Amino acid sequence: MAASDNAGYTSQSPRASVTPLEEGQTRRVLLTSNGFTTRKMRKALNKLISLRQKEWSECVFCYIADALVAKGATPERTQEEARRIGKMMGFEEDNCRSVILENESRESISETFSDVDVIFTEFGNTFALKFYLNTSGAIDLIPNLVFNQGVIFVGSSSGSIVAGKSAGVAFWKSWDNPEVAGQEIDWSDPEMVAGLNLIDGKSIFPHYSLRFYHLVETKSAKMDHPVITLTDKQALLFIDNEYRILTD
């Protein structure tokens, strides 16, 4: 493949096949590098909400903030961000809530997400986000909500990485500190590094540009599954058994 500043390819095939969902299952996923930065991304969200078959005013928007908290954000700021982003996306302010998985347990997590329509996972430290997905039990709960209850999953940067098969892609650029809350985590443990696997056995490399071309080619060649790259103006839209790259 020739070097290009364009993205949206998989490392193994320009259009990797998709394993069909089981009967009755759904998959409504929108992954980005920087959130909703283009008209096509906002239009894609409108499409996903229409599939939810609920009025916007009734939809509950859940903002997972752990990646941002690891960068120093306070709980007050995360709630402000939940309302700001939710309102920008079209949700009622009273229906926008911030959730910090670090404060959740496997006993409380189901109730926390019981009425959620849209899960938005924010940028920040990927390793903190992945660690607290594990400890809270959300690593198991979220795929169930997406595949079996039609909940919409939206990722921004770190949130997009954890949606894939492996969160280990976060090591490639060395942007995030792999220590979480002062702990050294064994990221060689497959369970620790495994993502939510919402996008059919593929992983995501956000913030792609030409300067990362050789890095992605080298690292992805060692993976046992495709890696999809996204520039800051691209998004991956997955609806059930079909996916496409949105580019403005």
Query: Which CATH number does the domain housing residue 63 bear?
Result: 3.40.50.880
140 within a domain of the structure (yes/no): yes
Task: Give me the percent of the chain exceeding a pLDDT of 90.
Answer: 81
6 within a domain of the structure (yes/no): no
124 within a domain of the structure (yes/no): yes
Q: Which has more confidence, 35 or 63?
A: 63
Measure Cα distances from 248 to 50, 175, 232, 238 in Å: 22, 26, 10, 17
Q: Which has more confidence, 179 or 29?
A: 29
What is the residue range of 90's domain? 28-247
3 within a domain of the structure (yes/no): no
What's the domain count of the chain?
Answer: 1
190 within a domain of the structure (yes/no): yes
Does the structure show a pLDDT above 80 at 110? yes
Identify the bridge partners of residue 227 per DSSP, sorted by sequence position.
203
Instruction: Mention every residue, 6+ apart, whose C-beta is less than 8 A from residue 59.
Output: 49, 52, 91, 92, 95, 117, 118
* pLDDT at residue number 122: 93
Tell the burial category of 188 from Cβ atoms under 10 Å away from its Cβ (0-12, 13-18, 19+).
exposed
* pLDDT at residue number 17: 63
8 within a domain of the structure (yes/no): no
**pTM as predicted:** 0.93
Ramachandran angles phi, psi of 99, nearest 5°: -125, 130
Q: Which of 144, 54, 40, 136 is nearest to 92 (CA)?
A: 54
Confidence of residue 182 (pLDDT cuts 50, 70, 90): confident
105 within a domain of the structure (yes/no): yes
